[in-house]
Structure 1
Amino acid sequence: MTPSARKNELKAFGEWLSVKRALTDMTQRDVGDHVGVSWSQISRYENGEAMPRKGVRMRLQALFESHPVRQDNFAAQQQDSSTNASAILALEQLAESLQQKAADIQNLAAQMRQSGNTNLLIAALTILRGN
């Protein structure tokens, strides 16, 4: 497994654990006590710093299957997901706008190199300001 794939696996597991723990209204200490590890180890799992051994993963799965999801926590998690989706969309739109501005400025820089016209610098600054 490549280091990048390992990092993604750790991150995904950490996110899964964090969401499951929040939905069941359990603390890191609660989860750790149930599966036989310290709360700080649960924190390392959630932060993508470590991956639990197979036995611990199986106990975690069993723990979350046996604990009901609190409906108020589920609703809050759904709201967070909706807010996150809106924020991601806004960031994607901003990135697209910035990419277009960067392309426009690169074109102006190329024109400036060819023509020696420094007035194009003013146009580049105008693009950056969004005017």
Structure 2
Amino acid sequence: MTPNDRKYSTTHEWVKVDGELAVVGISDHAQEALGDITFLELPKAGTSVEKGTECGVIESVKAASDIYSPIGGEIAEANDALENAPEQVNQSPYDTGWLFKVKGIDHAEIDALMSADDYETFLKEQE
């Protein structure tokens, strides 16, 4: 089930606003397609990111995939716990498997992303 409390990108990242920050992760669909995640390279705190730009890498037993920032801003925090437990992305992509938090967010960029229902439709169209 795709959570309704966040927005989704066409590159399978999600964004959830949490006060002044936006939490970013990958969707359940993305983690399932990747298979067992073995390594993550996440952006460092203080790094500026632009919407749609590559900002990290996820490696799995199947492939390596770029992580794209679905919004612009400054990285406030990366989920350092994933360094020693990358499987959290597989086990809990919408909770403990979040990737990074962004500050200085533009709510218009977030509003332009897909709702959960629109993302589900997008996935069906990709099949």
TM-score w.r.t. the length of structure 1 is 0.22
- Which protein, 1 or 2, shows the higher relative CO under an 8 Å CA cutoff with sep ≥ 6? 2
Q: Report the structure, 1 or 2, having the larger helix content.
A: 1
